[in-house]
């Protein structure tokens, strides 16, 4: 019935925005939508499997020139486009939400996030670990930790992420998770996200150990680039990235849509 997706907007000049209901329906995405091009397909697939929403915008010529991935549980999403017109189409779709985009819209208030990048091949391997870091596949245990520490996370996403090959690196103290970082890996690119250390265990080198473990893993998989986004106002995380040798290579803006 809805083989071409749920049509939402079709104006006289032809641009078209549609909701994508399955990853097969999304098809290939062109290069150049975003810095995150290599992982967009993966992100869209996870969103759909975790009950999120995915929208595509096409030019009158039928070229995909925008992608919007949204999670209703988290009331947050990301608009991937270079076009003002496309951004302006997607933006009002989700009121009272956190919307990330590399598109800089002058008219909306925003928070600046930096995209940090690390050259994995250049990272030294002479680190001395103070804590044990391991990869965790235990959905219930991860869920317990994230519910307490990052309650805004869509819980359904955890099993979806593990099924889709995301890696969850944890540090335990007295057999209890005290620090966690996720990593998405697609081809030669990895993206870290969801970094968190329990407040009472901060500044003890836990995230530094966690990062080193991720780097060893990435080297073994011949992944060359690790990226992650950090709010400009997050001094702890920014100095952690800087100290690890990461460099700022781009920006993402976080908008809060009105009611
Ligand atoms: C950011 C965070 C993960 C760091 O974890 P951590 O285990 O405390 O970090 P480490 O002890 O490994 O610190 C490594 C380096 O990072 C920097 N750093 C960490 N916390 C810092 C702080 N509060 N202020 C300044 N620099 C800090 C330092 O350079 C530190 O090295 P040093 O202690 O030898 O000076 C932790 O503060 C946290 O969970 N914060 C809340 C969640 C968050 O902001 N996550 C990141 C989202 S992008």
Residue 259 lies in a domain: no
Instruction: Indicate the residue among 72, 88, 108 that finishes a domain.
Output: 108
Of 170, 202, 226, which is best to mutate to test ligand 1, by the most ligand atoms within 8 angstroms of its C-beta?
Answer: 202
Report the nearest-CA residue for atom 31 of ligand 1.
Answer: 240
- Atom nearest to 229 CA in ligand 1: 48
Same domain, 130 and 239: yes
Residue 83 lies in a domain: yes
Same domain, 45 and 87: yes
Mean pLDDT of the 224-235 span: 98
Secondary structure class of 155 (helix, strand, coil): coil
Report the nearest-CA residue for atom 33 of ligand 1.
Answer: 203
Same domain, 97 and 187: no
Instruction: Indicate the residue among 55, 89, 108 that finishes a domain.
Output: 108
Pocket of ligand 1 (CB under 6 A): 179, 195-197, 202-208, 230, 234-237, 239-240, 243
Query: Which of 8-17, 143-152, 213-222, 248-257 is predicted with the least confidence, judged by mean pLDDT?
Result: 8-17
Asked whether the CA dihedral 157, 143, 212, 114 is positive or negative, the reply is: positive
Same domain, 75 and 172: no
Instruction: Indicate the residue among 76, 108, 140 that finishes a domain.
Output: 108
Q: CA 168 from chain center: how many Å? A: 14
Tell me the chain's radius of gyration from C-alpha atoms: 19
Give pLDDT, residue 10.
Answer: 47
Same domain, 160 and 194: yes
Give pLDDT, residue 125.
Answer: 87
Mean pLDDT of the 39-51 span: 98
Residue 232 lies in a domain: yes
Q: Which residues in 92-239 belong to E strands, given as ranges?
A: 98-101, 110-119, 133-135, 167-173, 176-186, 189-197, 225-231
Q: What is the distance between the alpha carbons of residues 97 and 152, in angstroms, rounded to a whole number?
A: 12
61: pLDDT strictly greater than 50:
yes
Model confidence pLDDT, tens digit, residues 121-139: 999 989 999 999 999 999 9
Same domain, 75 and 154: no
Same domain, 139 and 41: no
* Contact yes or no for 231/112 (Cβ under 8 A): yes
- Atom nearest to 204 CA in ligand 1: 11
Query: Smallest Cα–Cα separation from 223: which of 128, 123, 137, 80?
Result: 123
Q: How confident is the model at residue 3 (pLDDT cuts 50, 70, 90)?
A: very low
Question: CB neighbours (10 Å) of residue 123?
Answer: 19
Same domain, 176 and 244: yes
Residue 49 lies in a domain: yes
101: pLDDT strictly greater than 90:
yes
Q: How confident is the model at residue 37 (pLDDT cuts 50, 70, 90)?
A: very high
Give pLDDT, residue 1.
Answer: 33
206: pLDDT strictly greater than 50:
yes
Same domain, 56 and 96: yes
Task: Provide the domain count of the chain.
Answer: 2
Model confidence pLDDT, tens digit, residues 22-35: 999 999 999 999 99
Same domain, 16 and 67: yes
CATH code for the domain in which residue 160 is found: 3.40.630.30
Structural domain boundaries enclosing 33? 6-108
Same domain, 81 and 163: no
Residue 258 lies in a domain: no
203 CA from centroid of ligand 1 (Å):
6
Report the nearest-CA residue for atom 28 of ligand 1.
Answer: 240
Give pLDDT, residue 149.
Answer: 97
Same domain, 146 and 214: yes
Give pLDDT, residue 14.
Answer: 53
Q: What is the distance between the alpha carbons of residues 239 and 122, in angstroms, rounded to a whole number?
A: 19
Model confidence pLDDT, tens digit, residues 144-189: 999 999 999 999 999 999 999 999 999 999 999 999 999 999 999 9
120 Cβ contact partners less than 8 Å away, ≥ 6 residues apart: 190, 215, 218, 219, 223, 224, 225, 226
């Amino acid at each position: 019935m809805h083989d071409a997706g749920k049509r939402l907007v079709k104006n006289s000049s032809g641009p078209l925005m549609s909701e994508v209901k399955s990853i097969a329906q999304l098809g290939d995405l062109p290069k150049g939508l975003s810095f995150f091009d290599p992982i967009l397909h993966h992100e869209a697939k996870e969103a759909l499997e975790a009950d999120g929403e995915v929208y595509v915008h096409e030019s009158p010529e039928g070229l995909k020139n925008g992608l919007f991935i949204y999670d209703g549980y988290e009331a947050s999403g990301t608009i991937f486009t270079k076009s003002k017109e496309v951004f302006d189409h997607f933006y009002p779709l989700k009121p009272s939400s956190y919307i990330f985009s590399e598109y800089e819209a002058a008219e909306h208030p925003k928070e600046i996030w930096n995209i940090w990048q690390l050259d994995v091949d250049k990272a030294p391997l002479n680190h001395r670990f103070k804590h044990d870091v391991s990869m965790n596949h235990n959905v219930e245990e991860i869920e317990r930790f994230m519910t307490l520490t990052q309650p805004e996370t869509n819980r359904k996403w955890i099993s979806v992420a593990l099924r889709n090959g995301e890696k969850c690196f944890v540090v335990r103290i007295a057999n209890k998770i005290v620090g966690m970082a996720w990593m998405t890996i697609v081809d030669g690119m990895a993206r870290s996200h969801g970094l968190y250390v329990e407040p009472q265990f901060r500044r003890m080198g836990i995230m530094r150990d966690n990062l080193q473990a991720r780097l060893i893993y990435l080297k073994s998989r011949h992944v060359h680039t690790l990226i992650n986004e950090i709010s400009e106002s997050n001094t702890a995380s920014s100095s952690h990235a800087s100290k690890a040798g990461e460099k700022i290579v781009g920006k993402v803006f976080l908008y809060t849509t009105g009611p």
